[in-house]
Structure 1
């Protein structure tokens, strides 16, 4: 009898799942800025290509956990122009990862990221170039934030300027005991331009965010934990162990089938970004993709109990 129910619901579920997922995918990958905003992506990418060095590496593990590594340790993993373009490519790859459940973002050789490559900053000094780079990175980090994966920034060493902004595009942040975050933009005569200020206000509220930005204060792991900026302080500060500790922490929230974990992330993203009525409609659509789906039917067949 239950196998007949599985077969019937599956026939109804699959086409709705394809339609709803296609619509949600389009919403997630939609850019904040396009030509109507004066944004010329091809132009800024051509300029960014001039500033080479480093890489943004991605490994996708069989357990559905991805590892995104900022790899430019000679300059504290600062973003060169080509690294910004590679980040866009890696995010696009993650958007289509059907079996993905979680992502850890970290830096090579025991430091996180010191922001932008100063060579690019000095050369792209015209206001319009700066605004174009701002729009380019805001588009990418917004897509990172909207990934249907549970994302964690693993902060070892220093996360400065744009590096600190990058951490706010992740769902969670973890720090080692000797690491620090610092929004140093004021000292550069700037404000955050990659969306870090807006996201920091969402995470902390306006008053704590204003203190961190206007004071350009160093935030160590203990203070970050007290502020609610991070979830936990990892016990080890060695180069490789914190990555395993971060995986163990993330595994608490990625147990289960990919389609369920991704759906959880999608409803939270909708609730965070959209007005209530729109968020409720999105939640209804996502609910329809999992109701009667394989994980739901399996749980019913197993008579899953909650203890």
Structure 2
């Protein structure tokens, strides 16, 4: 055969080795695998960001929210304290301590509450939280002396945003939380109870959203949370009527889980510990995972909640508690 000229060589069919042909056949599969890997990575990054955002502020500078400025303002109004103790069994006790004013929140107490929530966010061994008030009463809301001093609209909005942020972070803690209501939980104190997963009441106690009598509506997120707990109709009755909600009615509405036998502080705390213990028994990683799954289901759109649940499941599958359970082969009665 005569030698092909330079201009004709491009017409000759290209010959590939068997290995090269195999590589071309594999290309679609490899591209698909790469696309899936990139997509999975994207989802993981997205879910991580979603989980991180759950700890971020609801508000920022675009909303006129300057947290450090607001904290500096609040710290001008001192009184009382927020005390936190963490026990070896993974249960924390947070105490509102301003008994002279029925544990009303001063400005410094609002800032201290945020600090304690941050401490609890970083407590890796925590499983449960009980919030109660010193001196056999829960909380009467905001200290009226503070309210008078920050009565202009902007200061009020700043305080509102600050407390909404703090109570939202409290609600999202990976701890199963209980508000132990002794005596009165009024106004902002009633709102605080709604940031907990459960509410336990003692004989003679009451929860009352008194905002209407103060010429106000809820501002610490208690209105929105109350609707999710008791439904819109009951929430409108409680807010519009500023009604006293005593233990029996609270239980019928689903606002309270149980009425304890003891009314005094030490006995009520002991009962609350025992009640909470039935839900916090077990490894911290498992209890925290359960709370995170519920929090995701409560707040996120279904598809996002399902993906979040998958990610949380992955943190405990094959973990120490799971492997130990497989060895024990527990029987479920």
Structure 1 and Structure 2 fold alike (TM over 0.5): yes
Shift of 1:242: 0.3
How far apart are the structure 1 equivalents of 2:47 and 2:266?
A: 37
1:260 aligned onto 2:276: no
From 76, 79, 91, give the equivalent of 1:65: 91
1:232 aligned onto 2:255: no
Where does residue 150 of structure 1 map in the other structure? Answer: 176
**Is the contact made by 1:20 and 1:289 (CA closer than 8 Å) also made in structure 2?**
no
Structure 2 gaps of 5+ residues are 1-44
How far apart are the structure 1 equivalents of 2:261 and 2:79?
A: 32
1:295 aligned onto 2:295: no
How far apart are the structure 2 equivalents of 1:24 and 1:96?
A: 18
Structure 2 residue matching 1:29: 3-state secondary structure: coil
Where does residue 5 of structure 1 map in the other structure? Answer: none
Where does residue 75 of structure 1 map in the other structure? Answer: 101
**Is the contact made by 2:230 and 2:255 (CA closer than 8 Å) also made in structure 1?**
yes
Point out the structure with max Rg over C-alpha. 2
Where does residue 154 of structure 2 map in the other structure? Answer: 128
Where does residue 221 of structure 2 map in the other structure? Answer: 195
Shift of 1:239: 2.3
How far apart are the structure 2 equivalents of 1:197 and 1:129?
A: 20
Greater RCO (Cα-Cα under 8 Å, separation 6 or more): 1
1:52 aligned onto 2:52: no
RMSD: 1.5
From 245, 252, 256, give the equivalent of 1:219: 245
Question: Equivalences for 1:3-22 in 2 at 5 Å?
Answer: none
Where does residue 270 of structure 1 map in the other structure? Answer: 296
Shift of 1:176: 0.3
1:43 aligned onto 2:76: no
How far apart are the structure 1 equivalents of 2:48 and 2:130?
A: 25
**Is the contact made by 1:20 and 1:286 (CA closer than 8 Å) also made in structure 2?**
no
1:96 aligned onto 2:149: no
Moved over 4 A (4+): 19-25
How far apart are the structure 1 equivalents of 2:66 and 2:210?
A: 28
Where does residue 17 of structure 2 map in the other structure? Answer: none
Q: What is the aligned residue count?
A: 290
From 203, 207, 210, give the equivalent of 1:181: 207
Structure 1 gaps of 5+ residues are 1-18
